């Protein structure tokens, strides 16, 4: 598969003020091979059982010229035994069943990746598209 936006997430992004990339808490969650992407998935609760580690809150977010960027994310000491296959971007409302899924990223260098008890750092692209570009 390739990186993509969730259809219901796209709908929310286009309907102000449902997603404010700067003001809202936007998180990135690693998911294992147990998660299967579906266009029908709308909320984080659809994927939360497959999350590896603790989702990271994106900081120093920017939306310049239609390009979304933030600081790189780090996940500390992920327990050995999982295989990470993708990263999900979602708006965290504090409740998984109301936190909309926005993006599915699996075209990340090194994915799929086996966890070994060490840290995992996701460096966003330094190219023109950064995390994503509209």
pLDDT digits (tens, 9 = 90+) for 66-87: 999 999 999 999 999 999 999 9
CB distance 3 to 125 below 8 Å: no
Q: How confident is the model at residue 88 (pLDDT cuts 50, 70, 90)?
A: very high
- What whole-number distance in Å separates Cα of residue 19 and Cα of residue 38? 21
- What whole-number distance in Å separates Cα of residue 30 and Cα of residue 53? 7
Helix (H, G, I), strand (E, B) or coil at 59: coil
Q: How confident is the model at residue 64 (pLDDT cuts 50, 70, 90)?
A: very high
DSSP code, position 105: E
The residue among 46 and 2 whose pLDDT is bigger is: 46
CB distance 132 to 103 below 8 Å: yes
So what's the pLDDT on residue 41?
A: 98
Token duo for residue 96:
């998984």
Q: How far is CA 116 from the centre of its chain?
A: 21
So what's the pLDDT on residue 52?
A: 97
DSSP code, position 43: B
So what's the pLDDT on residue 100?
A: 98
């Amino acid at each position: 598969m390739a990186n993509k936006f969730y259809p219901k997430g796209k709908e929310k992004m286009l309907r102000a003020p449902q997603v404010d990339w700067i003001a809202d808490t936007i998180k990135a969650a690693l998911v294992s091979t147990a998660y299967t992407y579906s266009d029908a998935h709308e909320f984080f609760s659809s994927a939360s059982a497959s999350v590896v580690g603790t989702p990271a809150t994106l900081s120093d977010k920017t939306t310049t010229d239609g390009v979304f960027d933030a600081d790189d994310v780090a996940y500390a000491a992920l327990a050995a035994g999982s295989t990470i296959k993708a990263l999900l971007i979602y708006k965290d409302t504090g409740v998984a069943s109301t936190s909309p899924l926005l993006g599915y990223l699996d075209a990340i260098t090194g994915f799929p990746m086996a966890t070994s008890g060490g840290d995992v750092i996701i460096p966003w692209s330094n190219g023109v598209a950064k995390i994503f570009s509209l």
